[in-house]
Amino acid sequence: MIIKGCEAMTISHYLGLLGGLALFLFGMELLSEGLTEGLGERIEIFLLKLTNHKWKAIGVGTLLTCLIQSSSAMSVILIGFLNAHIMSLKRSIWVMMGANIGTTITGQMIALDIGMFAPLLAFVGVCLYLISHGIKHLCGQVMMALGLLFMGLEMMAQSMLPLQHSSTFVNALMHIQNPIWGVCIGMLFTALIQSSSASIGILQILASKQLISFHQAVYLILGFDLGTCITGFLASLKGSRNGKRLALFHFLFNVVGAISFLIISQMIPLIDWIAGWTPLSLLHQIANMHTFYNMMTTFIVLLCEPYLIQTIQWIYPYHHKK
């Protein structure tokens, strides 16, 4: 059966795509949950004891997000600390900057292309998870999660093969040549699935099948980071004023980064320069771009941090008691 508008895609392909995405997201959730549980109270110790200086806080945010594999989870944790009044806004902002860098580790892992070992990872992980306790149980959960994550990616990759022959899909990708369209599409897509890591994974799959160019991928990446801010906004809806400020700062952080990158890339061949690091691997180019973009954004935002803090405090002012 052929689906109208995408000539080569059948219902089974769409179901495979959805199933693969479900496996990937479930694997990410298991990985984040397992590592967060394993770290336990250490997360709170790191965040409260080692964030008294700007660069230390950024480093802690980067490290913890690399470990728990989710900047969205980190933003929810930080908003929880702000709601409980056990962490200052400035410290949480520094940690959030680091979290944006740490979340790029997922793309780097995918670029290593260890998908062929995914079934073995999942099998060994399930065995350890079911028969062990303590640290071995946790290791089993992490291995199982990684196996499911890469199996989900492979499932999505196989489901996307027919798109290589779809004129409709190729024509749709032509719109991404426009930077604004690319950013908007990336933002909406990530806002829907609420995972920039999953978005990067899908983008790397498209790249591996030569369905998208590096220049097109760059604009989508800018949108992915904007779209992931929706989680923080949702978590802050019923929270404190500082929680709302952090969610707004996270959004402004990515807006400043996207605008700065688009301006700089028009002035100098920045995109071609990053592509030149790994000319033979489009997957590594995408992963490197995601990492470089977030590091660049962090340094730019640090320069205008006082003005951004003033802006969010103006939007969410303090209520003075009479």
- Which residues of the chain, if any, have pLDDT below 50? 1-7, 321-322
Helix H, strand E, coil C: the string for 218-285 is HHHHHHHHHHCHHHHHHHHCCCCHHHHHHHHHHHHHHHHHHHHHHHHHHHCCHHHHHHCCCCCCHHHH
- Nearest alpha-carbon partner for 209 in 282, 314, 296: 282
Per-residue pLDDT, 84: 79
- Nearest alpha-carbon partner for 112 in 294, 279, 286: 286
Per-residue pLDDT, 6: 44
Listing DSSP states for 151-201 in one string gives: HHHHHHHHHTGGGGG-HHHHHHHGGGGSHHHHHHHHHHHHHHHT-HHHHHH
Sorted by sequence, the CB contacts under 8 Å of residue 209 that are 6+ apart come out as: 157, 160, 161, 163, 164
What is the rounded CA–CA span in Å between residue 303 and residue 256?
Answer: 11
Per-residue pLDDT, 1: 33
What is the rounded CA–CA span in Å between residue 226 and residue 186?
Answer: 8
